[in-house]
Amino acid sequence: MDFFVEKETNLLRHVVNWVTDIIVAIALACFTVYAFGSQVTVSGNSMSPLLNSKDVVLMNQLGYDLGKPARFDVVVFEREDHKMNIKRVIGLPGETVQIVNGQILVNGQVLDMGETGEMKKIALAGLAENPVELGENEYFLLGDNRDSSEDSRFSNVGNVRLDQIIGKVWFRIHPAMEFGSVQ
C-alpha cells in the first residue's frame, strides 16, 4: 500500500511542478510581449528613410514606464484625435525649440543630429517659426521626412505630453529584408 501512496504523491508533485512551469512561462511571455513586443504598423512616409509606410515595428512600452524619452528616440504616441503616430524626439521638457533658416535650434543652439544623420534644411517651420517653450512633461517631435510630416510644428499635433507617449520603437520585423533594430 505504501508503494501506491508514494507513487500517487510523486505523480501529484510532478503534475503540480508541470502546471507551475506552464504558468510561469505564460506570465513571462505576457511580460515580454508587453515590454518589448507590441506591434505597430507604420502609416505614411513621415519617418522615411528610416521607416516606410506599412513597415511593422516592435515597441517597448516598459521603458517609459520606468524612465523618460531621450532626445532622438523614435517613439509611438497617441494624438489628441486618438490616432497613433511615430516620430523622433527633438525637444525635451523645459527646452525651447525654434526653426530658423531651415535649422533646428534647441535653447538657441543649432541641434547636432549626431547618429541620426545629416539633415537637410526644413522648408516649413510651422509653429516653430517662433520659439516653442516646452512644459515640464512636454516633448517636441518631428518626422525624419520633414517635408512630409505632420508633427509638433503643426497645431493639430503640437507639443506632445509624456502621457501621450506609449513606447519606444526598437525593432523592425517587416519587411523581412530590413529586419533589425531601429535607431
* 87 catalytic residue (yes or no): yes
Q: What share of the chain has pLDDT > 70, as a percent?
A: 87
* Percentage of the chain lying above the pLDDT 90 cut: 51
- Give me the mean pLDDT over the 86-96 stretch: 96
| 83 catalytically annotated | no
Q: DSSP characters for 30-49? A: HHHHHHH-EEEE--SSTTTT
> In whole angstroms, what is the distance from residue 18 CA to residue 43 CA?
43
pLDDT greater than 80 at residue 10 = no
Which of 7, 38, 43, 46 does the annotation list as catalytic? Answer: 46
pLDDT band at 178 (very low <50, low <70, confident <90, very high): confident
Q: Is the pLDDT of residue 21 over 80?
A: yes
Q: Which of 53, 87, 155, 168 is catalytic?
A: 87
Residues linked to residue 172 through DSSP beta bridges, in sequence order: 57, 180
pLDDT value at 76 more than 60: yes
pTM for this prediction: 0.80
Instruction: Read off the pLDDT of residues 103-155 as tens digits, 9 standing for 90 and up.
Output: 999 999 999 876 555 567 888 999 999 999 999 999 999 999 988 899 999 99
Q: For residue range 31-67, what is the model confidence (pLDDT) as tens digits?
A: 766 666 678 889 999 999 999 999 999 898 888 888 8
Please report the pLDDT score of residue 4 as a whole number: 58
**Unique residue bearing C-alpha cell 525654434:** 98
Q: Which residues of 83-101 are buried (b: 16+ CB within 10 A; e: fewer)?
A: eebbbbbbbbbebebbbee
| Average pLDDT score, the chain | 87
Least confident of 93-107, 113-127, 159-173: 113-127
Q: DSSP of 152-175, one letter per residue?
A: TTSTTT-SEEGGGEEEEEEEEEES
5 against 176, higher pLDDT? 176
